């Protein structure tokens, strides 16, 4: 059934606020935005090397992100996020992996060791209160065969209860997904509100994202009380299949 197009709704202010970055958050997240903005134009997430997990100490994230030779060994630090991502779409199997806490920051920023420690310190200083980075949980479901399968991504992130942590997760999610301007990507006024597979979804435009051999299509935003999702594809039927498998 085709998606039903409608004007942006304001009936669910809680979920809209989850995507929309506040003015305070825009200032507080300038530190991470400056670091990841340069990567966002070209970055496509590769599966990171497997790690045992992460703690809240800055040094604990060292070594989270892999060297190219470490692939395709993957990390499963946030199984609760992986569990709600689709295992297959349109009959094609997807590879799922996940990161938690500072390991996600490391992947998004490309920083390790003392540089990552400095980033964490800067984030904590800029935030309105102490952030619990262990609440950051991120998962990706992508094509299993990059040689034969077309580009397709389903990103997922746990939705913290703290608004500042939600906004940090949104910024990291959008920056890692190739948005040219992650701040603009969080502005739902730029999206078309649609109902897809019985779910309220915000559909963006092609020009919001980097388009290349690794990623093609439009962003589809959807979230629940517990998770935030971003689907990127140029096939509407594939998007509907993936979104229909996500929790309500």
DSSP string, 9-44: P-S-HHHHHHHSPPHHHHHHTHHHHHHHHHHHTT--
Q: Among candidates 49, 27, 40, which has minimal Cα distance to 168?
A: 27
Per-residue pLDDT tens digits for 165-187 = 998 999 899 988 989 988 888 88
* Per-residue model confidence as pLDDT tens digits over 229-247: 999 999 999 999 999 999 9
**How many whole angstroms separate alpha carbon 190 and alpha carbon 209?**
13
pLDDT band of residue 48 (cuts 50, 70, 90) is low
> How far, in Å, CA of 177 to CA of 10, rounded?
26
First to last CA, the chain: 18
Strand partners, 99: 138
Q: How far apart are CA 40 and CA 247, in angstroms?
A: 27
């Amino acid at each position: 059934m085709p998606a039903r197009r409608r004007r942006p709704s304001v009936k669910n202010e809680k979920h809209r606020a989850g995507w929309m970055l506040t003015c305070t958050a825009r200032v507080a997240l300038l530190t991470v935005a400056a670091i990841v903005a340069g990567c966002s134009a070209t970055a496509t997430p590769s599966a990171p090397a497997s790690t045992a997990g992460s703690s809240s100490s800055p040094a604990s994230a060292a070594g989270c992100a892999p060297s190219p030779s470490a692939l395709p060994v993957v990390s499963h630090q946030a199984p609760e996020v992986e569990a709600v991502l689709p295992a297959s779409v349109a009959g094609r199997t997807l590879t799922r992996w996940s990161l938690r806490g500072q390991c996600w920051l490391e992947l998004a920023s490309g920083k390790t060791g003392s540089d990552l420690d400095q980033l964490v310190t800067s984030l904590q200083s800029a935030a309105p209160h102490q952030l619990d980075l262990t609440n950051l949980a991120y998962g990706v479901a992508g094509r299993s065969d990059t040689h034969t399968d077309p580009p397709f991504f389903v990103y997922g992130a746990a939705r913290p209860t703290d608004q500042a942590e939600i906004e940090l997760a949104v910024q990291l999610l959008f920056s890692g997904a190739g948005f040219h301007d992650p701040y603009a990507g969080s502005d739902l006024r730029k999206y078309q509100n649609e109902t897809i597979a019985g779910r309220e979804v915000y559909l963006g435009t092609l020009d919001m994202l980097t388009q290349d051999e690794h990623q093609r299509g439009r962003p589809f935003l959807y979230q629940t009380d517990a998770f935030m999702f971003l689907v990127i594809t140029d096939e509407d039927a594939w998007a509907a299949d993936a979104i229909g498998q996500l929790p309500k």
